[in-house]
Chain A
């Protein structure tokens, strides 16, 4: 994981990955975005998609270099197979959709999971006396591959199910697949979300203003909150386990809990905001997940486009909750196993996924068998603690270190007096970010639909966005201030 907050924390957990050009980099903010903005609005309607497509492909080329060919392949294969399905009778449609699923899944498996699969297989074979029987491939993980693969899968399956007609225009489809605001960090967009707007869309100064406000808040979430809190979390999780006292361990996990939310939801806000500026409506991805009173509710509010994807393309096809309690439980565990794996090819993510699947299963059982359902403040607190326990597995490098960390959280591990107590981390700035972050995460949010009704917030929101954007611009500046460290001596 990039220590400088270059990437959304949930998206690229592997070390050997390409970190994309980030929305908070000076080149993006001061060159790419103004140029695209000017080119877009200076163009006539018929050239606007072309401007966005060229910008998106350039953006991805800088992020992934030669792996842009993989994106081209994904665009070409999904477009062609989608069109092919339209022309086939039902029997052949099935073959075509299976081909399309394979065309999406094979690159994902090769680049993201082949190394993990080989290591896991070697681990099993090792017990049978075969050491390093399978060579471990060392591919780099192209940025955003999980996102554009899932978008491609959703498209071909929707076309197969005749829920959406195939896209007739290659350039429109290419823009749908590569639209730079959501290409590397989501939200995961379904074709029918955008198909109408890709053909023709309206622009208005109000929409552009609203998009900029959203982008500004997202940028400040990422730079002012996620990056600063992330430094604390990195430092705590990076310190020797033996010297971790319970209070420091709690500081670390609270900071990480806020970091992952603000990092990921900040990126989503920026993507949705930029989408709005360019007249494309991207779906919401987060809805104050830390206000959830149960894990079930948490998954309705966290990374909503991903949970929706798994619901529609895995859970329902497996039978959902319509085939008895046992099957429902198994389906949930399968979905969350895959959900964990989607986040990264590592045991820790699989455990994190299973952990959430198990919690959902327990909640469902308590509700159906005993009528017990977590709610209110106790439900929120319990949910928050359980989510934080899950994040320990998500953040840790191995299951062993996660368990060790959990012991420190519970105060059951022997801790030697360490160099860095909680005061090392609870400096005035970090406390400020923690307080603001907690308030922003937990304070009841007004959705745009109700904003016009009353209250002072809708009136000051645009001005607040300018202020926090300025602070974020100032906050990102030291990213490039790297005095040669030797010269300090």
Chain B
């Protein structure tokens, strides 16, 4: 009987974990990086129905109960340590991480494109190029391949087996040959340097900064040729430094004891002189303007990019332009981006990554845009 009582008390303690944690903070409680706001407290006045309202409280509680962060980390740690498994991340060899949904969902979705869908996609690029050309703007497509293309040998055996000649390669070929834009292929640049050093972070989705530096250099040099400004070429020297940390993919796999990565970064060898940044001036995420524009810098350019562009911006990319306007493609539609092109724009750099192909599938009504002159044109 006493044994049973002790047992009941012990068992009940399991159900009281949040209460015990609230009172004692005995469990480690490092916050999780979920990139979202926790579910809000449901408002009685805004409820759709009683059930939604009550389930709102369930969501509210599930996002906040004391001990939640520890339990989530413990579960992830058990899966990681015991099975080498995460339900969001493929754990590759030598600590290389890959997003599951990218390999399981996004890539197969693109590989399932029919020839007609590819034609339609390329057609939109052609229209975009023509529209820009008619306004004196050169379209520059920066093609970025993802980590698994460079480090396929690091993928675990459970990762999907991509066809030898995926449809995506055909899309890239058509982008290069059929659109008529300036095409910057980052792949050979990265392949050239990956013999010497890694070009991607192990625990992050993105290329590392020294790799981004080389692509940025390539773009700047190419644009200086096109613009006929030989003195506007790349100006900075690459110096690499290492830092210990975790990338975004590691955040999707929150462990009690994360394995840190010695990541490669670019040491800033240049000074922020001669120009200034403005941030969050809708629709631009950032604007860089030189105080005194000159022929030694590239003309006004818009960078319509995703997060791979961030690495380039950290490497002094902006400082090679008289003005560079950054638009984040996920925060601003293509149509709105085109309507917002600033006066004097000569280049539009478009970052093209496989997982964002869907973004370019959104139709742009070029007829509606035919009378549009970018600001100040």
A417 to B61, CA, bound (A): 45
The reply to whether the CB of B134 lies closer than 8 angstroms to some CB of chain A is: no
The reply to whether the CB of B117 lies closer than 8 angstroms to some CB of chain A is: no
B65: chain A residues within 8 A (beta carbon): 26, 30
The reply to whether the CB of B372 lies closer than 8 angstroms to some CB of chain A is: no
Chain B proximity of A206: nearest CB distance (Å): 5
Cβ-defined contact, B251 with A483, below 8 A: yes
B88: chain A residues within 8 A (beta carbon): 483
Contact with A along B94-137 (1 / 0, CB 8 A): 00000101101000100000000000000000000000000000
The reply to whether the CB of A486 lies closer than 8 angstroms to some CB of chain B is: yes
Chain A proximity of B52: nearest CB distance (Å): 7
State which of B12, B33, B307 has its C-beta within 8 Å of the C-beta of A489: B307
The reply to whether the CB of B252 lies closer than 8 angstroms to some CB of chain A is: yes
A267 to B339, CA, bound (A): 57
B159: chain A residues within 8 A (beta carbon): 424
Chain A proximity of B36: nearest CB distance (Å): 4
Taking CB atoms and an 8 Å cut-off, the chain B residues in 29-57 that contact chain A are: 32-36, 49-52, 54-55, 57
State which of A425, A426, A466 has its C-beta within 8 Å of the C-beta of B11: A466
A480 to B170, CA, bound (A): 39
By secondary structure, the A interface counts as helix
Cβ-defined contact, A61 with B251, below 8 A: no
The reply to whether the CB of A453 lies closer than 8 angstroms to some CB of chain B is: no
Q: A38's closest neighbor in chain B, by CB? A: B12
The reply to whether the CB of B79 lies closer than 8 angstroms to some CB of chain A is: yes
Chain B proximity of A16: nearest CB distance (Å): 14
B330: chain A residues within 8 A (beta carbon): 486
A484 to B38, CA, bound (A): 11
A477 to B76, CA, bound (A): 10
Chain B proximity of A471: nearest CB distance (Å): 8
Q: B54's closest neighbor in chain A, by CB? A: A62
Chain A proximity of B10: nearest CB distance (Å): 6
Contact with A along B1-24 (1 / 0, CB 8 A): 100110110111011111100000
A33 to B1, CA, bound (A): 23
State which of A34, A419, A474 has its C-beta within 8 Å of the C-beta of B15: A34
A482: chain B residues within 8 A (beta carbon): 34, 36
The reply to whether the CB of A216 lies closer than 8 angstroms to some CB of chain B is: yes
The reply to whether the CB of B366 lies closer than 8 angstroms to some CB of chain A is: no
Taking CB atoms and an 8 Å cut-off, the chain B residues in 125-159 that contact chain A are: 157-159
Contact with B along A460-486 (1 / 0, CB 8 A): 001001100110011101111111111
The reply to whether the CB of B227 lies closer than 8 angstroms to some CB of chain A is: no
Contact with A along B358-369 (1 / 0, CB 8 A): 000000000000
The reply to whether the CB of B185 lies closer than 8 angstroms to some CB of chain A is: no
Considering only CB atoms and an 8 Å cut-off, how many residues of chain A contact the other chain?
A: 59
Which listed segment binds A: B67-75, B193-201, B215-223, B285-293?
Answer: B67-75
Cβ-defined contact, B4 with A18, below 8 A: no
Cβ-defined contact, B85 with A427, below 8 A: yes
The reply to whether the CB of A131 lies closer than 8 angstroms to some CB of chain B is: no
Contacts A427-B158, A482-B34, A483-B252 given; indicate if A212 touches B16 (C-beta within 8 A). no
Cβ-defined contact, B5 with A489, below 8 A: no
B54: chain A residues within 8 A (beta carbon): 61-62, 65
Contact with A along B329-373 (1 / 0, CB 8 A): 010000000000000000000000101100000000000000000
The reply to whether the CB of A399 lies closer than 8 angstroms to some CB of chain B is: no
Contacts A65-B51, A419-B161, A489-B356 given; indicate if A481 touches B14 (C-beta within 8 A). no
The reply to whether the CB of A37 lies closer than 8 angstroms to some CB of chain B is: yes
The reply to whether the CB of B173 lies closer than 8 angstroms to some CB of chain A is: no
A423 to B90, CA, bound (A): 13
A-B contact pairs, 13 of them (CB 8 A): A26-B62, A33-B15, A34-B19, A61-B54, A63-B51, A66-B49, A209-B4, A419-B104, A432-B83, A474-B71, A480-B59, A481-B32, A488-B248
Given A33-B15, A61-B50, A231-B87: 16 more A-B contacts, CB < 8 Å: A27-B62, A30-B61, A31-B61, A64-B51, A65-B49, A65-B51, A418-B161, A419-B108, A420-B104, A462-B7, A473-B17, A478-B75, A480-B59, A483-B33, A483-B36, A487-B248
